[in-house]
Amino acid sequence: MCIGMAPPTKGLWPHPFIAREGWPFLAGTLALALLASLFAGAVLAILAWVIFVFVLQFFRDPPRRVPEGAGLVLVPADGRIVAVEKTRDPWLEREALKISVFMNVFNVHSNRSPVDGEVIGCWYNPGKFVNADLDKASTENERNAIHLRTADGQDITSVQVAGLIARRILCYVEPGVQLTRGQRYGFIRFGSRVDVYLPTTATPRVTLGDKVRASQDILAQLAA
């Protein structure tokens, strides 16, 4: 079963521009900044406000225009492409094309479904918290995977991977849920990675080093 707090809201962006996951952090850092401004020196007050602004930008969750087209696999998270390779999908035990997106602390950390499909399976694995930019993070770090199946029977695995600073993976779906491309299904706090395992017949639409945006950019094209 996926870990998390609540099921996804219907539709693509019926939620606040600032993710709900960040509200407690924003309230805490805002209170700290106000107290520092009233009772501390200028240096501490400035530092407190810098922390508040950092938290504010981290939890932003802007709407995105979702591309249309048959067989498109969308980018599930903002960040940089750090892997495009043929490898083994450990969740479905098959050969697959893996494409990985690394999110630094300045990226949007909301995770969105790469395809239209039904959630078939969901797995959570505890693990380490090594730098998510490293390939070994895919097999050693804390991670949460969902198995999606499209209407034409193609299987996609989307894996949230915790990073060096990230200590909390949130996933809001369970088997049987239908997701649409670009629909929000999870969140990872403070730096992380998402691995997408595709059929080997899929064609990558990104290359190593590309900077991508969730739901707006195309990750790959599935074979008809």
Whether 192 is a known active-site residue: answer: yes
Instruction: Read off the pTM.
Output: 0.79
Name which of 178, 110, 180, 171 is nearest 146 in CA terms.
171
Length of the chain: 224
196-220 b/e (C-beta count within 10 Å ≥ 16 → b): bbbbeebebbbeeebebbbbbbbbb
Active-site position among 100, 110, 158, 192: 192
Mean pLDDT split into 10-residue runs, the chain, 224 residues:
46 61 80 88 87 81 85 93 94 95 85 93 75 56 90 94 69 90 83 90 95 93 90
What dihedral angle (degrees, nearest 10) is formed by the CA atoms of 146, 149, 154, 160?
A: -20
Q: In this structure, what token pair is assigned to residue 187? A: 């969140």
Q: What is the pLDDT of residue 76?
A: 94
Distance in angstroms (rounded) separating the CA atoms of residues 96 and 157: 10
Sheet with 110-112, strands from edge to edge, namely: 110-112, 184-188, 169-171
The closest alpha carbon to 209, from 98, 102, 121, belongs to: 102
